[in-house]
Chains A and B, each alone.
Chain A
Amino acid sequence: MRHRRVILFSLFGVVIAVTVGLLLLWALGYSALEGYAYLLEYSLLSRTALFSTLSRAALLVLLGLSASTAFASGALNLGQSGQFLIGAMAATVFGLFVNLPAFLQIPLSLAVAALAGMLYASIAAFFRRRFNMNELIVTLMLNFVADYFTQFLIAGPLFEEGRQSPASPAINASGWFPVYKGFDTGILVALLAFILIYLLWNRSKTGYEWTIMGQNSIFSRIGGCPNEENFTKAMLVSGALAALAGALVIMGGIQHRFMPGIKANYADDGIMIAIVANNKVVATAIYAIMFAIMRTGAMGMELETGVPLEFVHVLTAITVLFVVASREYSQYLIDRFSAFLRARRISSRIEDYAGRDSSGSMD
């Protein structure tokens, strides 16, 4: 019952957001419906479009799960973008200096990236546990450090001679994800990660303890859960997921090299996705696909109707606001209404009592 209500109000929010998007496009003088039609056409209605939407969705699923795993267990990891970059860099370095057969190279490269992401996330986890430092700010600041550090690497030690702009050389081909008729097999990594994270949350002791800790950390501590350890675990899993997304960018696609700007808006989108999905695993995947459709389709929309693709950034932010507000405001209204009903029941009972006992024993 409660789930149905949450889903209903989320859908309601999406409908509002789509409407607001239409109105906004219309107000700006674009043909709104046509724009939406192109958005869908360029994200779903051809094989290339569909596969590129899926590739993007794979990244967003990983980053969304990274954020939702952290948030739902009460760890405010906002370091997805840094962990993503470190993961991408680890995959790049591994791919440049190691050359094994593909069946070893690919899994090892992913493992190295995940490990690097964990390591990077563990800095904030360590500071939190050892010095009680707020992980929110530490992870955010480490994003900038990772950004500058990777920029330094591709402009200095890893710079490929002869290029105009900073970028690393391409990684060894054994580390590239095989592509079957346009389908990037890296997508399967995200699928696998999704299944594992789903099981972790719903079928494991750790997942159960995370849920309790996220809802009430004092309760979980008194109940005997090792909160400190669980916090670290959540940070590490979150970091590994973000880093895997980074590895996917390097090992999949066409370029296979670390270039400036590869992080795009993936990490921010991941955080938004986790927020609209209320940190639920399945909902995260669904919203990740929705965001991927919007992002991929936006390019087509720009091409055909001239709407700048940044429009989609605005639209996703508005969607998030409306979904969250409609979810929480409806909860608030329901709470108020039930409080009102309770108050009326109590007051009528008092009146009954006063009516029955009219002999004046009160006072």
Chain B
Amino acid sequence: MGLWIEILRSSILAAIPIALASLGGAFTYYTDVFNVALEGMMLVGAFLAVIGSYFTGSWAMGLLVGALGGLVIGIIFALFAVYMGADHFVTGMALNMFAVGGTTFTLRRLFGIKGALVSSRIVGIPSWNIPLLSKIPVLREVISGHPFAVYIALLLIALSHYLLFRTKWGLRLRAVGEDAQVLDSLGVSSRRIKTLSILGSGILCGFGGAFLSLGYVALFAEGMTSGRGWIALSVINVSRGRPWGLLLVSLVFGFFEGLGMSLQGMGLAPQFPQMIPYIITIVAVYVYSRRERRVKAA
């Protein structure tokens, strides 16, 4: 029982960065921008969050700087992909490399270290006991007392759902993906909406990365996102960009990651449990393609 609660708790923690990144990617999913820069945005977010927290001693500044870092990558992406007509895939890949290079370079330059930045000066995101949640028996052990950003993430998901499906702006955003020229002909700039969706995805990915480095742990390691941006991309596909759907799929991923971590303590060679999230992603792609086929056949 205690073990399962531990696994469920850690699955929520592991799910949040992926959920945030895929929420960001959902915006670009609807505007038909092939956003492969999620990984880079997350990495920059994770790095700058740690840097911000290290130098200001405040996790709030860390989160803010992390989100801003994602935003900056988003701005570059939009500039190249939307305004200069560069290929989305190419721009995104270059930005991912830029993120890897930029973070390792800055790490070397600021601290003279390679690998990981671990320091007591990095202030992590504090945990929160939400008064109501902590009263529910059993469930409280799973859902209460998480870093408070978990609850912010849930709010963001609800907000995004409202934004995408209940507002004029959301309608336009989804329309861009359907047919950008129709919007342009009606006097709504599809470029502007595309840009906004990319910037939004940058902020959310930056936030997701910040959660990874300040909420999940309190350190930065080179390449610490380790494919989570790509996992987020497949989460978006499977859930078709529906905010609540992608939360659910992210939780499934989180569960397997948590399971993997618990298995590592049980004498199995650690490399196999570590493979689990990636294999699950392949399974998710399989599920998605099967459903696509059914939809086509119907």
Q: Which A residues lie at the B interface, using CB under 8 A?
A: 28, 76, 127, 131-134, 137-138, 140-145, 148-149, 151-152, 155-156, 265, 268, 271-272, 275, 308, 310-318, 320-321, 324-325, 328-329, 331-332
Report if A324-B90 is in contact (Cβ < 8 Å); known contacts: A132-B289, A133-B286. Answer: yes
B292 near A151: Cβ-Cβ < 8 Å: no
B80 near A133: Cβ-Cβ < 8 Å: no
Shortest Cβ distance from residue A29 to the other chain B in the assembled complex, whole angstroms = 10
Closest to A320 in B: B94
Bound-state CA distance A132–B293 (Å) is 9
Binds A, one of B102-110, B142-150, B165-173: B102-110
Report if A137-B94 is in contact (Cβ < 8 Å); known contacts: A156-B269, A332-B84. Answer: no
B227 near A140: Cβ-Cβ < 8 Å: yes
Q: Which one of B86, B89, B269 lies within 8 Å of A328 (CB-CB)?
A: B86
Report if A313-B271 is in contact (Cβ < 8 Å); known contacts: A141-B227, A321-B91, A325-B86. Answer: no
Q: Cβ of B158: which chain A residues have Cβ within 8 Å of it?
A: none
Give 29 A-B contacts (CB < 8 Å), ordered by A residue.
A127-B286, A132-B289, A132-B292, A133-B285, A134-B237, A143-B227, A144-B226, A144-B227, A144-B275, A155-B271, A265-B100, A272-B94, A308-B105, A310-B101, A310-B107, A313-B104, A317-B97, A320-B94, A321-B86, A321-B94, A321-B95, A325-B80, A325-B91, A328-B84, A328-B86, A329-B84, A331-B85, A332-B84, A332-B85
A308 near B109: Cβ-Cβ < 8 Å: yes
Bound-state CA distance A203–B9 (Å) is 59
Report if A137-B90 is in contact (Cβ < 8 Å); known contacts: A148-B271, A310-B104, A328-B84. Answer: no
- Secondary structure at chain A's binding surface: helix, strand, loop or mixed? helix
6 pairs of A and B residues whose beta carbons are closest in the complex: A313-B101, A317-B98, A308-B108, A152-B271, A310-B105, A148-B271
Q: Cβ of A155: which chain B residues have Cβ within 8 Å of it?
A: 269, 271
B101 near A149: Cβ-Cβ < 8 Å: no
Binds A, one of B13-21, B124-132, B241-249, B276-284: B276-284
Shortest Cβ distance from residue A200 to the other chain B in the assembled complex, whole angstroms = 24
State whether the Cβ of B234 lies closer than 8 Å to any Cβ in chain A.
yes
A141 near B271: Cβ-Cβ < 8 Å: no
A137 near B97: Cβ-Cβ < 8 Å: no
B230 near A134: Cβ-Cβ < 8 Å: no
Q: Which one of B87, B104, B278 lies within 8 Å of A324 (CB-CB)?
A: B87
Bound-state CA distance A70–B92 (Å) is 18
State whether the Cβ of B233 lies closer than 8 Å to any Cβ in chain A.
yes
Bound-state CA distance A356–B184 (Å) is 35
A144 near B278: Cβ-Cβ < 8 Å: yes
Total number of residue pairs linking A and B with CB closer than 8 Å: 131
Task: Bin chain B's interface residue count.
Answer: 35 or more
Q: Cβ of A331: which chain B residues have Cβ within 8 Å of it?
A: 85
Q: Cβ of A156: which chain B residues have Cβ within 8 Å of it?
A: 269
Q: Cβ of B105: which chain A residues have Cβ within 8 Å of it?
A: 308, 310-311, 313-314
Mark out the residues of chain B between 116 and 175 whose CB falls within 8 Å of any chain A CB in the assembled complex.
none
Q: Which one of A149, A320, A325 lies within 8 Å of B271 (CB-CB)?
A: A149
State whether the Cβ of B274 lies closer than 8 Å to any Cβ in chain A.
yes
Closest to B222 in A: A310
A152 near B102: Cβ-Cβ < 8 Å: no
Bound-state CA distance A331–B100 (Å) is 29
Q: Cβ of B101: which chain A residues have Cβ within 8 Å of it?
A: 310, 312-317
Q: Which one of A138, A308, A325 lies within 8 Å of B282 (CB-CB)?
A: A138
Report if A145-B278 is in contact (Cβ < 8 Å); known contacts: A133-B285, A134-B285. Answer: yes
A324 near B97: Cβ-Cβ < 8 Å: no
Report if A316-B271 is in contact (Cβ < 8 Å); known contacts: A127-B286, A132-B292, A332-B85. Answer: no
Shortest Cβ distance from residue A107 to the other chain B in the assembled complex, whole angstroms = 32
State whether the Cβ of B192 lies closer than 8 Å to any Cβ in chain A.
no
Of A268, A321, A329, most B-chain CB atoms within 10 Å: A321
Bound-state CA distance A269–B286 (Å) is 29
Shortest Cβ distance from residue B191 to the other chain A in the assembled complex, whole angstroms = 13
Shortest Cβ distance from residue A133 to the other chain B in the assembled complex, whole angstroms = 5
A324 near B227: Cβ-Cβ < 8 Å: no
A329 near B282: Cβ-Cβ < 8 Å: no
Of A143, A315, A317, most B-chain CB atoms within 10 Å: A317
Q: Cβ of B90: which chain A residues have Cβ within 8 Å of it?
A: 275, 320, 324
B94 near A317: Cβ-Cβ < 8 Å: yes
Bound-state CA distance A329–B86 (Å) is 7
Shortest Cβ distance from residue B82 to the other chain A in the assembled complex, whole angstroms = 12
Mark out the residues of chain B between 64 and 99 whose CB falls within 8 Å of any chain A CB in the assembled complex.
76, 80, 84-87, 89-91, 93-95, 97-98
